[in-house]
A and B are shown apart, each in its own frame.
Chain A
Amino acid sequence: GQQLNQSPQSMFIQEGEDVSMNCTSSSIFNTWLWYKQDPGEGPVLLIALYKAGELTSNGRLTAQFGITRKDSFLNISASIPSDVGIYFCAGRGGATNKLIFGTGTLLAVQP
Chain B
Amino acid sequence: NAGVTQTPKFQVLKTGQSMTLQCAQDMNHEYMSWYRQDPGMGLRLIHYSVGAGITDQGEVPNGYNVSRSTTEDFPLRLLSAAPSQTSVYFCASSRLAGFLTDTQYFGPGTRLTVL
Q: B41 an interface residue at 8 Å Cβ cutoff?
A: yes
**Roughly how many angstroms separate A43 CA and B42 CA in the complex, as a whole number?**
11
Q: A27 an interface residue at 8 Å Cβ cutoff?
A: no
Asked if residues A99 and B108 are in contact (CB atoms below 8 Å), the reply is no
What class of interface size applies to chain B in its complex with A? 20 to 34
Contact A48 to B103, CB < 8 A, known contacts A40-B108, A42-B108, A98-B59: yes
Asked if residues A98 and B58 are in contact (CB atoms below 8 Å), the reply is yes
Q: For residue A31, which residues in chain B have a CB less than 8 angstroms away from its CB?
A: 99, 102
Contact with A along B68-99 (1 / 0, CB 8 A): 00000000000000000000001010000001
**Roughly how many angstroms separate A43 CA and B44 CA in the complex, as a whole number?**
13
**Roughly how many angstroms separate A42 CA and B93 CA in the complex, as a whole number?**
12
Asked if residues A42 and B42 are in contact (CB atoms below 8 Å), the reply is no
Q: Tell me the nearest residue of chain A to B106, going by C-beta.
A: A42
* Stretch from A57-65, A77-85, A101-109 at the B interface: A101-109
**Roughly how many angstroms separate A101 CA and B37 CA in the complex, as a whole number?**
10
Q: For residue A6, which residues in chain B have a CB less than 8 angstroms away from its CB?
A: 42
Q: Chain A CB within 10 Å — which of B99, B106, B107 has the most?
A: B106
Instruction: Name B8-57 residues within 8 Å CB distance of A.
Output: 35, 40-45
User: How many residues from A make CB contacts under 8 Å with B?
Assistant: 23
Contact A42 to B102, CB < 8 A, known contacts A102-B42, A103-B40: no
**Roughly how many angstroms separate A5 CA and B101 CA in the complex, as a whole number?**
23
Residues on A lying within 8 angstroms of B by beta carbon are: 1, 3-4, 6, 31, 33, 40-45, 48, 50, 88, 90, 92, 98-99, 101-104
Residues on B lying within 8 angstroms of A by beta carbon are: 4, 35, 40-45, 58-60, 90, 92, 99, 102-104, 106-109
